[in-house]
């Protein structure tokens, strides 16, 4: 992996000036303060130098510090797939000129992340090809995530002309003097999962140009998190990727625990692993089922939903809710699992493989399905990394990257499982990888269930976790802690952390900044399908409309996570 000194030396080779690139001591990741003048040069160096090799730009995020001289900060999280190291870049800029050069020419994954930072924080990325609002309505005024923006403020947005890309308005004629057609796919369309709008230009039936519009489900998750206590954010995280809401909560709790310096007890870790993997199975089941349904195979969809119903029964018995679980707490989980949890999970372990096998019998070697999906939405591994892809979609391009293996958390390194990869990079490969991941996840669940230790399910630190109810009813001391924790929220030490886990769609990152108070200062979610979906319009070129539907289904875009 290389040490901090080696990475610093590799950067100093080309950037010896301490004033331009300075290392910030400490922190969970090696952090560099970069002058915006050299940002693009440094980015290119970081990407191309073989000792650094930061091919994957994970996240671009804006942070607002109104009391500082240089008010805004643009934060970049980089990862190297070959060396496994990660760094963070911080580019400060003054309030009167929040301009920073765009790194889009270096990493294409910066495309939507920079647009988001512009939309919500008002940071201008000079040189960005399409810098306009992405999550908020075009008529929205102000930048919602700035600290001086009142979250209670309301705007009356009139239903104006639909926002159309410039190229869609221009009339284009081909050599036969027939006008090519511009078509809207979505936002409300049964084949677009969630409300996503795609504008395509059609030449005959072939898509020649496409652009997507998102943000229809924007619920200001990040702004709302800033006005709630640390634990109150958990019900909000359930609504990010609502097909596997458990994993969002786990990722969030792990990030906060990292900042607090605590660790959940082993039994809680075990419960988290089992329910996360069951959620992953569920997410893949929904994705495969919906993808098949879109392209005309209704039957496997119903088989998959049968499995999902049984999975929901187990999750509901643990958490009390089927979709929005709110089961994880910082420091553990809210309750112990029911007494017959083991039997329920063993039923799942027996039943789900049968249904998956039935689906495989119908689909995997089905000639119609293969002709619909093979070679459709093909992306090379280099392009996929460039777009910031992670998760099953990246693994279907032949890159064996999985956070559970590379940066094990919660004891995933104790469990025996393999990372499925495929080399096709197309819709069919993504299907194959997901099917194999279901099997691997069930293997993990089996092992974790066998090894589930007894013990407490939440840490006993009264600064973090609510005391047990029987103590609250009987002891004064516990009642006081209970009261303090509910009324003021837990105090998370000041600092910042980037916590990342492998969610169903890929790397789910939480960049959390705390100022030591009872509420988060800034939470930035790195949603995996945000990076995946930004490649979608580029993948469409040369395909037909039915292919667009097949590709969209295979990318597993969850609007709740995409728009936050």
| Residue 189 C-alpha from the chain's centroid | 24
The full 3-state SS of 30-49, as one line of letters, equals EEEEECHHHHHHHHHHHHHC
482: contact with another protein by CB under 8 A: yes
Give dist(CA 376, CA 386) in Å, integer: 19
1: contact with another protein by CB under 8 A: yes
Contact call for residues 505 and 241 (beta carbons, < 8 A): yes
CB of 338 to another protein, least distance (A): 4
* Of residues 229-268, those binding another protein (CB under 8 A): 231-236
Part in contact with another protein (CB under 8 A); list of ranges 8-16, 148-156, 302-310, 513-521: 302-310
Sign of CA dihedral 451, 456, 457, 462: negative
Closer to another protein by CB, 422 or 508: give it.
422
Closer to another protein by CB, 168 or 432: give it.
432
Q: Which residue in the set 3, 299, 380, 460 belongs to the binding site for another protein (CB under 8 A)? A: 299
Give dist(CA 268, CA 410) in Å, integer: 9
* Of residues 45-84, those binding another protein (CB under 8 A): 80-84
* Of residues 75-134, those binding another protein (CB under 8 A): 80-84
Binding-site size for another protein (CB under 8 A) equals 82
CB of 184 to another protein, least distance (A): 32
Residue with tokens 């990257």: 401
Give dist(CA 40, CA 53) in Å, integer: 15
Q: Write each residue from 386 to 425 as x if it is in contact with another protein (CB under 8 A), else as -, in one continuous string.
A: -------------xxxx--xxx----------xxxxxxx-
Closer to another protein by CB, 450 or 470: give it.
470
Q: Write each residue from 421 to 450 as x if it is in contact with another protein (CB under 8 A), else as -, in one continuous string.
A: xxxx---xx--xx-xx---x----------
Least Cα distance to 500 among 177, 39, 77, 163 occurs for 77
Closer to another protein by CB, 332 or 537: give it.
332
Q: Write each residue from 316 to 355 as x if it is in contact with another protein (CB under 8 A), else as -, in one continuous string.
A: xxxxxx--x-x-------xxxxxxxx-xx--xx--x----
Closer to another protein by CB, 202 or 362: give it.
362
486: contact with another protein by CB under 8 A: yes
The full 3-state SS of 318-368, as one line of letters, equals HHCCCCCCCCEECCEECCCCCCCHHHHHHHHHHHHHHHHHHHHHHHCCCHH
Q: Which residue in the set 19, 156, 166, 487 belongs to the binding site for another protein (CB under 8 A)? A: 487
Give dist(CA 59, CA 527) in Å, integer: 9
366: exposed, middle or buried (Cβ count in 10 Å: 0-12, 13-18, 19+): middle
Part in contact with another protein (CB under 8 A); list of ranges 23-31, 184-192, 228-236, 539-547: 228-236
CB of 214 to another protein, least distance (A): 23
Contacts of 9 (CB under 8 A, 6+ apart): none
Three-state SS at 449: helix
């Amino acid at each position: 992996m290389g040490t901090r000194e080696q990475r610093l030396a590799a950067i100093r080779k080309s950037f010896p000036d301490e004033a331009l690139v300075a290392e910030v001591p400490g922190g969970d990741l090696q952090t560099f303060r970069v002058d915006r003048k050299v940002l693009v040069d440094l980015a290119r160096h970081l990407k191309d130098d073989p000792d650094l090799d930061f091919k994957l730009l994970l996240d671009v995020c804006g942070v607002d510090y109104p009391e500082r001289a240089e008010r805004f900060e643009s934060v970049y999280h980089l990862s190297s797939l070959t060396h496994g190291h990660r760094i963070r870049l911080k580019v400060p800029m003054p309030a009167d000129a929040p301009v920073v050069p765009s790194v889009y020419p270096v990493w294409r994954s910066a495309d939507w992340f920079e647009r988001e930072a512009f939309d919500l924080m008002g940071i201008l990325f000079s040189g960005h090809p399409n810098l306009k609002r992405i999550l908020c309505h075009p008529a929205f005024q102000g930048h919602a995530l700035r600290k001086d923006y009142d979250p209670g403020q309301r705007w009356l947005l009139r239903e104006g002309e639909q926002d159309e890309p410039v190229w869609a308005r221009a009339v284009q004629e081909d050599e036969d003097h027939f006008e090519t057609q511009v078509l809207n796919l979505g936002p409300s369309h049964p084949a677009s999962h969630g409300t996503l709008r795609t504008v395509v230009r059609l030449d005959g039936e072939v898509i020649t140009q496409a652009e997507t519009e998102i943000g229809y489900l924007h619920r200001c998750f990040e702004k709302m998190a800033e006005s709630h206590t640390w634990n109150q954010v958990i019900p909000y995280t359930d609504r990010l990727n609502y097909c596997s809401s458990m994993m969002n909560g786990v990722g969030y709790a792990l990030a906060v625990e990292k900042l607090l310096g605590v660790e959940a007890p082993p039994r809680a870790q075990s419960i988290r692993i089992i329910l996360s993997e069951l959620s992953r199975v569920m997410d893949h089941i929904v994705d495969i089922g919906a993808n098949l349904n879109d392209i005309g195979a209704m039957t496997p969809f119903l088989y998959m939903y049968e499995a999902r119903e049984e999975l929901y029964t187990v999750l509901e018995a643990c958490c009390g809710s089927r979709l929005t679980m709110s089961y994880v707490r910082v420091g553990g989980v809210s309750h112990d699992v029911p007494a017959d949890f083991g039997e329920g999970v063993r039923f799942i372990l027996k039943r789900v493989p049968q249904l998956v096998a039935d689906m495989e019998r119908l689909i995997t070697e089905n000639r119609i399905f293969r002709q619909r999906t093979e070679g459709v939405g093909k992306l090379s591994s280099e392009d996929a990394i460039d777009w910031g892809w992670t998760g099953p979609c990246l693994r279907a391009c032949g890159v064996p990257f999985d956070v559970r293996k590379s940066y094990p958390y919660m004891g995933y390194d104790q469990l025996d499982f393999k990372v499925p990869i495929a080399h096709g990079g197309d819709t069919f490969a993504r299907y194959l990888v997901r099917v194999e991941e279901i099997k691997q996840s069930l293997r993990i669940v089996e092992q974790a269930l066998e090894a589930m230790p007894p013990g407490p399910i939440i840490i006993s630190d009264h600064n973090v976790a609510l005391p047990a109810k029987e103590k609250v009813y009987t002891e004064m001391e516990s009642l006081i802690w209970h009261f303090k924790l509910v009324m003021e929220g837990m105090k998370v030490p000041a600092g910042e952390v980037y916590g990342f886990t492998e969610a169903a769609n890929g790397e789910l990152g939480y960049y959390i900044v705390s100022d030591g108070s009872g509420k988060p200062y800034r939470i930035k979610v790195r949603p995996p399908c945000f990076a995946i979906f930004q490649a979608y319009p580029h993948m469409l070129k040369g395909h037909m409309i039915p292919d667009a539907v097949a590709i969209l289904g295979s990318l597993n875009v969850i609007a709740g996570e995409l728009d936050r």
